[in-house]
């Protein structure tokens, strides 16, 4: 199944660097209007400028994804800015802490779960109603091999990626009948 990107609104988290930056640049090159989401405004500004300099469309939205109660407002800001709803959600932002399970405090696990699992979930919940209404949409979750096999010293990260894999598989089945992949 081919998904046409021209003039579609794409929301990319973790767009200030790494994989998220490259995804944002590639989507813009294919004609998508890209909502760049991350905390680092300085880096987001550079990504936005690079896209805009090529005559492509992007806007930055500075957001700390641990602030889960602000995510519905973020989706609304993106809708208002672009004058339409999100067609493609790329849940890319992620964080990790290294340490043995007995040395990593529970509150650190909670923070990692906020960014790596609960923020993607909140974003999915924020975009799905409009996608259902349109009868189309794409949701992409960037996970990891450690979401299938745990490694010592990475239990917080592994646990979040296992969870994100399970969520993504569940919504794939749940949302498929509505034209959402």
Which one of 23, 157, 168, 180 is the catalytic residue? Answer: 157
Give the whole-angstrom CA distance, residue 168 versus residue 40.
Answer: 27
Give the whole-angstrom CA distance, residue 164 versus residue 112.
Answer: 12
Active site residue 81: no
68 to 12, 75, 87, 147: CA distances (angstroms): 16, 12, 21, 22
H or E segment at 45?
helix 41-53
Q: E-assigned strands of the chain? A: 9-13, 33-38, 58-62, 88-91, 138-141
Distance of CA 31 to the CA centre of its chain: 19
Q: Which residues pair with 139 in a beta bridge?
A: 89
- Nearest one of 109, 110, 113 to 121, comparing CA atoms: 113
Give the whole-angstrom CA distance, residue 85 versus residue 9.
Answer: 7
Active site residues: 157
């Amino acid at each position: 199944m081919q998904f046409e990107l021209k003039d579609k609104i794409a929301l990319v988290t973790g767009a200030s660097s790494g994989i998220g930056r490259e995804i944002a640049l590639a989507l813009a090159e294919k004609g998508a209007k890209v909502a760049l989401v991350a905390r680092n405004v300085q880096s987001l500004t550079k990504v936005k400028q690079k896209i805009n300099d090529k005559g492509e469309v992007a806007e930055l939205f500075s957001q700390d994804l641990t602030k889960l109660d602000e995510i519905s407002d973020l989706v609304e800001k993106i809708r208002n800015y672009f004058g339409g709803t999100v067609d493609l959600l790329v849940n890319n932002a992620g964080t990790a802490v290294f340490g043995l399970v007995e040395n990593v405090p529970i509150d650190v696990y909670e923070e990692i779960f906020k960014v790596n699992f609960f923020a993607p979930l909140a974003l999915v919940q924020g975009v799905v109603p409009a996608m259902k209404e349109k009868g189309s949409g794409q949701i992409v979750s960037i996970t990891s091999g450690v979401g299938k096999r745990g490694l010592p010293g990475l239990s917080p990260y592994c646990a979040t990626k296992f969870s994100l894999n399970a969520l993504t598989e569940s919504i794939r089945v749940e949302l498929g009948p509505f034209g959402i992949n």
